Amino acid sequence: MENEELIKQVTEKAEKWLSPAYDAETQAEIKKMLANPDKTDLIEAFYKDLEFGTGGLRGIMGVGSNRMNIYTVGAATQGLSNYLNKNFKDLEQISVVVGHDCRNNSRLFAEISANIFSANGIKVYLFEDMRPTPEMSFAIRHFGCQSGINITASHNPKEYNGYKAYWDDGAQVLAPHDKGIIDEVNKISSATDIKFEGNKDLIQIVGEDADSVYLDMVKSISIDPEVIQRQKGLKIVYTPIHGTGMMLIPRALKQWGFENVHTVPEQMVKSGDFPTVISPNPENAEALSMAIDLAKKIDADIVMASDPDADRVGMACKNDKGEWVLINGNQTCLIFLYYIIKNRIAMGKMKDDDFIVKTIVTTDLIKSVADKNHIEMLDCYTGFKWIAREIRLREGKQQYIGGGEESYGFLAEDFVRDKDAVSACTLLAEICAWAKDQGKTLFEVLMDIYVEYGFSKETTVNVVKPGKSGAEEIKAMMENFRSNPPKEIGGSKVALAKDFKTLEATDGEGNVTAIDMPETSNVLQYFTEDGTKISVRPSGTEPKIKFYIEVKGEMGCHKCFDAANAAAVEKIEAVRKSLGI
């Protein structure tokens, strides 16, 4: 009976898309779905509206209210236009930046968005071609805009596309504007509410005029240019995985002084089909396999890869046995911040008011590094908009010197307000040059950190639950953890539990204290007596629930890594067993 009711609802919804406000191709697709006895596609396309969340839109491309298409993108842009016109009504000319990545339909969605903004009297700076997400964030600040959007689904599979909304500081939208925009988007009830006819006079195409300024700014963050000069022959292998990084990252490396940069030719081809990888995600070993093959061939010093919108960086280097190993997002963030702190101190650049930021699910080893060097470290929610918020709150009072998250995102500067693979790749090359200057590899730098600050191993377990039923399962899992919190995990007693939905922390004796955060979030954390940290949260952009596991250990010497790692692997398995994942 329930299924019959659902089919009736989605049918009624789909039939509204058979009006002249929707193009013939869309109508034909919907007629096909309606005629099909199997209603699965119809239900998936229309059982809900693709939600414009606090980060914008992300979904599978196709027809329907729950899909990325010109109408769902159009509704988002019309709603954002309405909000901008209300919020900045006293401004003579409101302006926005529109950027996009390499994905199928990205250019189409960007041009349609530019038309809609301009039809609403808003000036648009539209990039001539795909560009990295961080450059779009930079351009909002550079051109003095009130907002901006980027058409990208980051590292999602090729079927996906997305829509990221930004505010005047170049960061993704936060309260109260996030809710205000969502309200306006939700008021768009059909395609007839969207102004698709653009005003060409209000659309300005940009490219090199933004590129050159941005790249000059990126170059300014180099901490030790002299070490690059000494190691300019450093052998670097880079791949953009078919994405936007190819537009700027090889050029940025050259501008910093690196003369021996090798790109993966097959992956320097712009393509939304990502033909050489299963998934264009630098977190996955498979996405770096072609780059590692090239590195082996030329005996490179480092491999680096950016995701399709070039905001995240993955890397690989040789271990103490000469084997190529992947460095995970936590380790990458740790290496970045260790280098920035250590070398700013060594070169007399560190100031008393400098601070760093990490997200609550990122390794706590970073806090050990910060504390020992008397640097302020802030913890914030997952997502770079929260790191950007900390920068904004301290602007003019304190200096941000770096921040990152375990999901391969890092930001080394404050003139961009989103994670930035362009600056991250160049800074990573500098760190590698600095290590080589001392006769070390990046792997040995990581070992130095573990010996001095203690060993930790992190892993993320993604439990994927697609579709409507999956969303319900994820909700039930979170409710179960809340109503039956674990008393011990992996053989160690839970000493502290944090619930960011209630903003309450409960210790092992049942004492409850308040958590100081800007708003609530559906995240749970457990800290055990042996130093293990578990974080649980549903993904905000994908149909999965994520478990972040960090276990601690000691590493008395550089040769002790294998033993420390093996003990940590054993501990992680015990944790997974306890959690039933």
Residues 155 and 193 in one domain: yes
Q: Cα 134 to chain center, whole Å?
A: 11
pLDDT above 90 for 340: yes
Strands of 110-202 (E only): list them.
123-127, 147-151, 160-167
Neighbours of 369 (CB within 10 A): 20
Distance (Å) of CA 324 to CA 53, 315, 434, 435, 558:
39, 10, 19, 17, 18
| Bond prior to 176 in cis (omega within 30° of 0) | yes
Strands of 328-475 (E only): list them.
354-359, 376-380, 399-405, 409-411, 455-464
Domain termination site, one of 206, 238, 261: 206
What is the residue range of 545's domain? Answer: 455-579
Residues 35 and 66 in one domain: no
d(CA 496, CA 512): 10
Active site residues: 154
pLDDT in the model for residue 541: 66
The domain that contains 401 carries what CATH number? 3.40.120.10
Residues 179 and 40 in one domain: no
Residues 375 and 446 in one domain: yes
Residues 500 and 427 in one domain: no
The share of the chain scoring above pLDDT 90, in percent, equals: 92
Alpha helices in 287-411 (DSSP H): 289-298, 329-346, 365-372, 384-394
The domain that contains 555 carries what CATH number? 3.30.310
What is the number of domains present in the chain? 4
Contact 334, 410 (CB under 8 A): no
Residues 396 and 511 in one domain: no
Residues 317 and 276 in one domain: yes
| Tens-digit pLDDT profile for residues 173-220 | 998 999 999 999 999 989 999 999 999 999 999 999 999 999 999 999
pLDDT in the model for residue 188: 95
- Give the H/E segment covering residue 326: strand 324-327
pLDDT above 70 for 328: yes
Residues 158 and 130 in one domain: yes
Q: Cα 264 to chain center, whole Å?
A: 23
Q: Position 101: which residue type?
A: D
**Radius of gyration over alpha carbons of the chain, in Å?**
24
Residues 433 and 459 in one domain: no
Task: For the chain, give the number of residues.
Answer: 581
pLDDT above 60 for 2: no
Across the chain, mean pLDDT equals: 95
Structure token digits, residue 436: 């080589």
Contact 306, 134 (CB under 8 A): no
| Tens-digit pLDDT profile for residues 361-408 | 999 999 999 999 999 999 999 999 999 999 999 999 999 999 999 999
pLDDT in the model for residue 465: 86
pLDDT in the model for residue 1: 39
d(CA 130, CA 152): 10
Region 156-185: mean pLDDT is: 94
Residues 531 and 441 in one domain: no
pLDDT in the model for residue 466: 82
Domain termination site, one of 140, 173, 206: 206
Strands of 38-159 (E only): list them.
56-60, 95-100, 123-127, 147-151
Residues 255 and 182 in one domain: no
Domain termination site, one of 206, 241, 272: 206
d(CA 377, CA 6): 49
pLDDT in the model for residue 542: 72
Residues 345 and 222 in one domain: yes
d(CA 266, CA 290): 9
Query: Which of helix, strand or coil describes residue 458?
Result: strand
Region 3-30: mean pLDDT is: 94
d(CA 311, CA 321): 31
Query: Which of helix, strand or coil describes residue 415?
Result: coil
